[in-house]
Amino acid sequence: MSFVEQLREELVTAAAREQARTGPRLQLPPLRPVAIAAAGLALTAILVIAVAGGLSTNRAVDERPVKPPSPEGRDLFGGTLFPGERYRTRNFVPGLSFVVGDDNWEAAETDSSDMLVLSRVIRGGPGPFGPRPTLVFQRIGDVYDPAVRGLKAARIAAPRDLEAWLRRHPDVRVSRSAPVTVAGVPGDSFFAEVRFTRPTHDDPFCYERFRRACTFLGPRLSLFDGMRLRMIQLRTEPDPLTIFTVAMSQRRLDALNRVAAPVLDSLRIGIR
């Protein structure tokens, strides 16, 4: 047998042995090349995402316009107020917000820019326009000069020191003042009592409505004979803010001041 024939026979035998195997052999690439290929594919995907993001016309989330914060509390309208709810004025200047402590408060005047009236509900007591215990926030712009007759002629700009002006008024008795701070604003607090036989400036509306005389201290400040008040004048700018509680007796005023204290403790001035 020649060398070529012997080599052919060995190749045929080897091929027969290979065919006799149970299944084909799976040829796997070495582990390291596979890992390298996977890393390359991942890097390619990252680059595609980065390029797509760079071409996007959408702004990044942290660059979107931020909405301004919502005003605190709910808008104040007339009617019963609910305890624990923060209310904010809509028109009063400066803006106020507050919380009442019980459900016996009623907002009686809320639309004015210079006067806010919160009244106590008296079960079976005087009607809604009667002399109920009341908490008032007011910017007193004008008063009536008690030395001048006639409302039109007597109208003058209110003094910044309201206490000193009231002390000289013939229809009002004023106590000594004491320093006080409300909502972080300093001011002065004093008590007053309305006493007159005949009012210096009569308010005709009082007699028409209640058949009782009132003294007109200012265009929006009319008080019954015998009324008791606690007044606080805060040194706000550009105009002072006057806060006063008013009732028809000292006992009712004391009770009113107790329930008004939480309202004043919660007060915030200058909110929008």
Asked if residue 238 has a cis previous peptide bond (ω within 30° of 0), the answer is yes
Write down the pLDDT at residue 43: 38
| Mean pLDDT, residues 84-91 | 95
Q: Which two tokens stand for residue 45?
A: 């995907």
pLDDT exceeds cutoff 80 at 235: yes
Q: Which two tokens stand for residue 216?
A: 């007109």
Average pLDDT, the chain: 81
**Confidence band, pLDDT 50/70/90 cuts, at residue 204:** confident
- C-beta separation of 160 from 240 below 8 A: yes
Q: Tens digits of per-residue pLDDT, 146-157? A: 999 999 999 999
28-37, 84-93, 139-148, 175-184: which range is least confident on average? 28-37
| Mean pLDDT, residues 231-239 | 94
Q: Domain locations in the chain?
A: 74-269
Which of the two residues, 237 and 232, has the higher pLDDT score? 232
At 151 the three-state DSSP class reads helix
Distance CA 106, CA 15 (A): 106
Most confident of 23-32, 52-61, 123-132: 123-132
CATH fold for domain 74-269: Protein Transport Mog1p; Chain A (3.40.1000)
Distance CA 9, CA 6 (A): 5
pLDDT exceeds cutoff 90 at 192: yes
Most confident of 16-30, 53-67, 93-107: 93-107
**Confidence band, pLDDT 50/70/90 cuts, at residue 92:** very high
36-45, 182-191, 263-272: which range is least confident on average? 36-45
Write down the pLDDT at residue 121: 87
Of 148, 175, 157, 151, the closest CA to residue 240 belongs to 157
Encoded amino acid at 237, one letter: E
Q: What residues contact 138, with CB distance under 8 A and at least 6 apart?
A: 114, 115, 116, 220, 221, 241, 242, 243, 244
Q: What residues contact 260, with CB distance under 8 A and at least 6 apart?
A: 135, 245
Write down the pLDDT at residue 21: 52
Write down the pLDDT at residue 45: 38
pLDDT exceeds cutoff 60 at 9: yes
Which of the two residues, 165 and 271, has the higher pLDDT score? 165
pTM: 0.72
Burial of residue 127, with CB atoms counted within 10 A of its CB: 0-12 exposed, 13-18 middle, 19 or more buried: exposed
State percent of the chain over pLDDT 70: 71
pLDDT exceeds cutoff 60 at 221: yes
Q: Tens digits of per-residue pLDDT, 24-44? A: 444 444 545 444 444 444 434
Residue showing tokens 């806010």: 116
- C-beta separation of 193 from 227 below 8 A: yes
